[in-house]
């Protein structure tokens, strides 16, 4: 199997992990390399594929390595159902503007007409582009979404 084929396998596998929890996703080299090795790829070949995958499809941010927008484009090209939607992103942005730039994630989710995957992946792209930040309450599990430049 070529290195590009292995890198594409990593794109698909990491996208599936991402799709399960877009807002909490962090790339994990050990998990990914182990997955390749468990599927018959030699250790050194799996590691080289990871290095190439990291170089091409990961970016640093949000507390660790995460997928880049290019990785989502590649996952889509490889047949994965990417749920990022421009209309959903616009709804998220407008709901936050109407709420003076801040809203609980649950409240925002209730205001936006989208599936969970569309909501989370669209919110993730807004966060990656620096349009919004997500903040977790230090005393609970509540998370808020804040526009980075709220209109006044």
Is the predicted pLDDT of residue 94 greater than 80, yes or no?
yes
105-123: average pLDDT: 91
Q: What angle do CA 101, 131, 67 make, to 5 degrees?
A: 135
Question: Cα dihedral sign for 35, 38, 39, 41?
Answer: positive
The confidence score (pLDDT) of residue 151 equals 54
The confidence score (pLDDT) of residue 62 equals 59
Is the predicted pLDDT of residue 88 greater than 70, yes or no?
yes
Predicted TM-score of the model (pTM): 0.73
Between CA 46 and CA 33 the distance in angstroms is 5
């Amino acid at each position: 199997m070529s290195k590009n084929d292995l890198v594409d396998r990593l794109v698909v596998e990491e996208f599936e992990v991402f799709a399960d929890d877009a807002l909490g996703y962090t790339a994990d080299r050990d998990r990914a390399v182990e997955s390749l090795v468990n599927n018959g790829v030699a250790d050194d070949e799996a590691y080289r594929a990871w290095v190439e995958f990291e170089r091409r499809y990961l970016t640093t941010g949000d507390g660790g390595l995460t997928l880049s927008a290019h990785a989502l484009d590649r996952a889509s090209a490889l047949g994965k159902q990417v749920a990022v939607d421009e209309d959903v992103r616009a709804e998220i942005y407008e709901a936050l503007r109407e709420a003076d730039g801040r809203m609980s994630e649950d409240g925002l989710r209730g205001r936006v007409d989208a599936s969970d995957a569309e909501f989370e992946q669209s919110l993730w792209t807004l966060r990656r582009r620096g349009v919004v930040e997500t903040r977790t309450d230090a005393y609970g599990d509540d998370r808020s979404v804040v526009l980075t430049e709220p209109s006044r």
